[in-house]
Amino acid sequence: MENCLFCKIIDKQIPSKLIYEDADIFVFHDINPAAEVHFLLIPKEHIESMLELTDKHQELMGKMMVKANKLAIEHGLTKGYKTQVNTGKNGGQEVFHLHIHVFGNRG
């Protein structure tokens, strides 16, 4: 997707603080953190939002949630954290490339 901010981050045309990357997933720190730790998990496939999901995305979405937990623990969020997926205009989504927010404070 040419004009998608997060596709450009995946392609490294726009820099980000990378946490994790594999063939399907890209994870990086949110530029405007809402807590001590705040990162975003995105699929490498350009999916606009949860509204676009179909059965073929089941494995990908499951993989992203399991990875979200692993990375949250690795970042010290061992007592818990929040996840959020803003979906569509009415869901408060601002960047139209599906992303899972993980945020929380250590301690």
What are the catalytic residues? 99
What's the CA gap between 96 and 26, in Å, rounded?
A: 15
Which of 4, 30, 35, 76 forms a contact with ligand 5GP (CB under 6 A)? 30
Which of 18, 31, 51, 73 forms a contact with ligand 5GP (CB under 6 A)? 31
Query: Which range, of 51-59, 62-70, 71-79, 85-93, touches ligand 5GP by CB under 6 A?
Result: 85-93
Q: How many CA atoms lie within 13 A of 97 on its CB side?
A: 20
7 contact choice in ligand 5GP, Zn ion, none (CB below 5 to 8 Å, kind-dependent): Zn ion
Note whether 1 binds Zn ion by CB under 5 A.
Answer: yes
- What is the arrangement of strands in the sheet containing 37-43, beginning at the earlier edge strand? 18-21, 25-29, 37-43, 100-104, 82-84
Tell me which residue has its CB nearest to Zn ion.
4
CB 1 within 8 A of CB 11: no
28 contact choice in ligand 5GP, Zn ion, none (CB below 5 to 8 Å, kind-dependent): ligand 5GP
What's the CA gap between 67 and 22, in Å, rounded?
A: 11
Amino acid, res. 77? L
Write down the least CB distance from residue 28 to ligand 5GP, Å: 5
